[in-house]
Structure 1
Amino acid sequence: MHRVAETLRDRIKTLRKKAKLTLDQLAPQAGLSKSYLWELENRDLPRPSGEKLAGLAKALNVTVDYLLGGDPTENLETAEDKAFFREYEAMSPEARAQLRRLAKALDK
């Protein structure tokens, strides 16, 4: 059985590898430097700022709460769904309509 990541650094590394991203690829997506991201994954640093956590969560398609392990009822799938819905809400009405049509076609 797959071990659930317990710490922030474990969750970041696990999610990055699941997304098949290198540190070089994830860092700009999250608005972080590669060296800072490496330190987050490999050292016990104080908790990053909310802004840094938000950028990282967005780049990894999860919620900040999931990264921090703050909600024991939130699993990876739920966190991904919440992150997707957050992006969906920010889309134009036309893009949302197109995505709904695509979802209906995939469900058939």
Structure 2
Amino acid sequence: MKIASKKPQFFKPIQPGFKHGLKIPIGFLKYLEGLNHIKHAILTRTGKKWLVKVNDWRLEEGWEKFAEEHDLQLGDFLIFKHEGYMEFEVSIFDSSHCNREYAEYLQEGGNNAEETFKKVEF
């Protein structure tokens, strides 16, 4: 017996040519019924949002920026959790099969600011 997920998900391995777009799997389209007129999707990650053009269920314009900002590489693995309408929370796993870790540099104070290194794990 299958139990319906409250927030359905799909995964995509990063393959050659990924910077030019990413196709939403045909099997996932049942969760997007009635939304074929929508021309954009919102990808969210750690509270930040990216607007991405959708063409024939393919993430295109804006996807390249998302891929660059997250330094996506061949062998990475993404999980898209449907948050409703055309919004997806994206989780990124690297070739080690673990959540991708990102580094953020934060500055504190005015002119005497020191750079601190904060490791953020998603």
Answer 1 or 2: which has greater helix percent. 1
| TM-score normalised over the length of structure 1 | 0.31
| TM-score normalised over the length of structure 2 | 0.29
Answer 1 or 2: which has greater strand percent. 2
